[in-house]
Chains A and B, each alone.
Chain A
């Protein structure tokens, strides 16, 4: 009996037990309810990649969502951090708080607010504004529905990525800028030659955070689009939930969960490698 015993016990049950369970269920035809099930070998995996077009669509939608979101959230957050650096300290802290604030709101509430915005408020704004805003029925087409879920997650999380960039920028030694100013470097030169290279670690962290966060997005498709129209917003985390608890294919859903797990771990592996290399350089 040592001080870490309770912790090891809890982790063993929750993580190690469940993690092994996912692998075991993924080679069965278990429906999630009955007591008995059969081993089916790798049949679930074969079906995933050869027969199941819906899963391929879902995987495609996930990659599109993750890619679009990762690029946008990083560009916008970095832009905002650089802009905030140009203004006085007082306004800076107020604006930073406003942009960060949605991050403490649950994705449930964020999804509802934006569903309301896209369906009710936006429709009326297009009428009032006449021409300024394009007349779009957001949830009727796959491509626009994808845009809505990306905007929703962006609104909630951009402040988080922004504060990481701000921390990166603030940690840069001021003497670099002074030296560059003496040499006559302009604002753009200083930004591209000093700021961006020196916040590379923050950029790496943010890219990986965005990717793994986006792969785990569940609430937004669950509440806003139900994966539709078609399978256009059927993100993989939501797809697993639906397969397991709505279609009652727990075994098959476990195979999907293994795939998600492999993707996220693969990304984590690259993240650790990227971070390690940086440590050596510094």
Chain B
């Protein structure tokens, strides 16, 4: 980019840096205030919300950790996220492969159904979906919410992987078929390893979305006190500590930490995947 040439930058570069620094500060401000207040005892917080804490006091964190039972909800969230993501990727890649390779009217129609379901907002199917889950007796259980997540995330995954499969050469599969390999064997031994990169990107995006989701666990899991995901615990914690913001905020920071660590390590994949998903 020519604007990035150092010799051409001059005053415009300085002005841009200043504006961007102010914007970055604004982006960090809410997290900054959350962190400083999470260290204050109640009385200190009530005298000022914007001063630095007089000392680093971790008792809010201890309280939030215990009251919200974070350890448990961390595992609940992790199990739901992991199995939902893995299932989505496996089923979607199988279907995307077959749909891309079969050129019949049926295959085309099925692909259109998948693409069409991407445009339906969740709120438009929410009521019958919950009713269906009730009738099948799969509410209030981890085994129940996981297949529902498969259904929710498969359409987009098929759409992305379908495009990728079309770019993979046919020769390898044809050779395998000639040797008498079954469709499942061909898929898992030959095609799936080739799909690793787009599948990993999708897995990261889906995992993030499922980890952060609140409405679905609230609709499907609520009623079972043992099954609370992290967003559900946080809503409960804030309900319990409406005035004691210091404890609630400490609980919030605890929930922020895994997200931010994930972001630091996966930044390139997240940003790259979102761009690929949006532009397609």
**Chain A interface (Cβ within 8 Å of chain B)?**
2-4, 6-8, 10-11, 13-22, 24-25, 32, 80, 83-89, 91, 95, 97-102, 104-109, 112-114, 116-117, 120-121, 124-125, 128, 155, 159-160, 163-164, 167, 169-170, 172, 174, 177-178, 181, 187, 201-202, 205-206, 209, 212, 215-216, 218-219, 223, 236-237, 240-241, 244-245, 250, 253-254, 257-258, 260-261, 264-265, 268
Contacts and interface: CB of A to CB of B under 8 A. Distances in A.
Contacts of A15: 117, 120, 125, 151, 155
B260 A21 contact: no
B196 interface: no
The 5 A-B pairs with the shortest beta carbon distances in the complex, nearest first, are A21-B128, A14-B151, A106-B212, A7-B95, A261-B124
B95 A113 contact: no
A99 B184 CA distance: 44
Contacts of B117: 11, 15-16, 19
- The bracket for how many chain B residues form the interface is 35 or more
B158 to A, nearest CB: 7
A85 B124 contact: no
Q: Which of B24, B98, B270 has the most CB of A within 10 A?
A: B24
Interface of B: 1-4, 6, 9, 12-13, 16-17, 19-21, 23-24, 27-31, 33-34, 37, 48-50, 91-92, 94-95, 97-99, 110, 113-114, 117, 119-129, 131-132, 147-148, 150-152, 154-155, 158, 183-184, 187, 208, 211-215, 219, 230-231, 234-235, 238, 245, 248-249, 252, 255-256, 259-260, 262-263, 267, 270-271, 274-275, 278-279
A19 B151 CA distance: 13
Contacts of A99: 23-24, 27
Interface majority SS (helix, strand, loop, mixed), chain A: helix
6 contacts: A17-B132, A22-B128, A88-B6, A91-B17, A108-B212, A240-B126
B125 to A, nearest CB: 4
Q: Which of B123, B154, B215 has the most CB of A within 10 A?
A: B123
A91 B91 CA distance: 41
Given A7-B94, A101-B27, A261 B275 contact: no
B245 A116 contact: yes
Contact of A14 (B95, B148, B267): B148
